[in-house]
Amino acid sequence: MGMSLAELTEAIRRHIDKEMEPIVAEGMAEHALGFFGYYDRIIDNALEPTDRNLFYMFQDYDLLTTESEETTLWDGREWRIHYWKFKAELAHKARKYLEGGDEKEVDPFADVYEDIPSDVWNRNEDDFEEPLF
């Protein structure tokens, strides 16, 4: 799977609540990792309803994702299997958290005016016409 207890603990704190006590986040991380063991995904049917609720919460906070696969049974029926897995980029982010390199949030609109020449903002009163509508 590639996620350590420390990495998942820090990811939980960063994604869910930065003020969360480390011991609480560690308990949540240990609980989740207990399902995965050495695998990178687990089958949804293995979860109790309360555990599934925790996984849905982790999904809401962008820590887990789901995937499914379909197979044909011997009698011709289609069977869908649902899995939970940690997001692929989460382990990389978690390692950065632990190394002290905070991820800075990038504003996608910060440079929206970069390509506009500065003279566009200058208004020449001679060329200005009031719009009719």
Which three-class secondary structure state does DSSP give residue 47?
A: coil
Total-model pTM? 0.62
Q: Is the pLDDT of residue 82 over 90?
A: yes
Per the CB < 8 A criterion, the answer to whether 107 and 97 are in contact is no
**CATH domain 5-103 topology:** Arc Repressor Mutant, subunit A (1.10.10)
Residues 46-50: what's their mean pLDDT? 91
Predicted pLDDT of residue 105? 62
**How confident is the model at residue 37, as a pLDDT?**
76
Cβ 55 vs Cβ 47: under 8 Å: yes
